[in-house]
Amino acid sequence: MTSEPELLPARIARPIAITPGDPCGIGPEIIARAWCCAPESTQGCFVAGDVALMRRAMALVQAVPTFPVCEIQTPAEAMHVPPRCLPVMQVVPEAPALPWGRVDARAGQLAGDAVLWATRAALRGEVAALVTAPLHKEALHAAGAPYNQYPGHTELLQAEAARHARVTVAQMPVRMMLANDELRTVLVSIHVSLREALEAITLERVLQTLRITDASLTSLLGRKPRIAVAGVNPHAGEGGLFGREEIEVLHPCLAIARQEGLDVHGPYAPDTVFMRARKRPDGRREFDVVIAMYHDQGLIPVKYLGVEQGVNVTLGLPLVRTSPDHGTAMDLAGKGLADASSMIQAIRMARQMVNFTD
């Protein structure tokens, strides 16, 4: 069993950039609310986006503004902004006030441009980490090239990081980790159909997932993580009765990983392994993370425990990137009702990860 300290805001040496996500969704609001509710976590952070957008979001959150929005010219200025002030760097063309809750190509363009600028700033070393508010995939695609090439944030960041490193996307493998205070899962595949996800369960891809997870969590935890691997089939195949992926792929993969010094266990029945990895009331957990074979297998248990506290972390990039574990919530946009808990946790996770890597 392992135990770990509570995740607390950490001091940072360089600023953290936060992108506003889709301006028609709840992204700008949860950022503004995070500044009001958790100023100790947002110190040293700034919004890379549109000043007018963030002023509109702050007005939505505060009837009587006590956290003014101030414009900064460089990321470094964010480290010296007075308390109770939200710094914003204008990194996109000034945008009109777009209607809340609508899918709009202009919103997709703004969201994509902000992410692209912040990613490049992180790759240049100007910012320590990137926290991305949710974007709307339909709006992003409606914006056209280059954003219609990517299913979402993860693939956009991966492509830009590969371009920066002058390697192919295949040479810049990334994985999604979804985490809250109780459970962490890492996915072998992300946004593909279930049929394609099953085809992606190969020895090479699973082993790559284990290596990325081990390296990333060693940095985050300060020690080697104890990794559990979920099976593909009911009862982890029951010795081949319900499928042979465990026998032909997972067992050989885990044997290689153990030879490389990874602390891996399984494959375990998918319907019980997540309970074994969940943090208990005494702070201990049997495993630090579960490797899930496909998107829904890994995300359902984390989201069931509470979307409000979940954080999406991209592993394998040459930069720190976290994001709230929810979408744009167009039905809530503009109503002043959005919950900023997941955004606050994403900022805290980024600070913690930066604290180990800087």
Question: What stretches in the chain show pLDDT beneath 50?
Answer: 5-6
Q: Which pLDDT value is given to residue 63?
A: 67
Q: Which pLDDT value is given to residue 313?
A: 95
Residue 91 to residue 17: CA distance in whole angstroms: 11
Q: Which pLDDT value is given to residue 26?
A: 97
> What confidence tens digit (pLDDT) does each residue in 257-297 have?
999 999 999 999 999 999 999 998 888 899 999 999 999 99
How many CA atoms does the CB half-sphere of 318 hold within 13 Å? 18
> What confidence tens digit (pLDDT) does each residue in 67-99 have?
899 999 999 999 999 888 999 999 999 989 999
Q: Which pLDDT value is given to residue 10?
A: 60
Q: Which residue has the tokens 């790559």?
A: 208
Residue 133 to residue 31: CA distance in whole angstroms: 8
Q: Which pLDDT value is given to residue 5?
A: 47
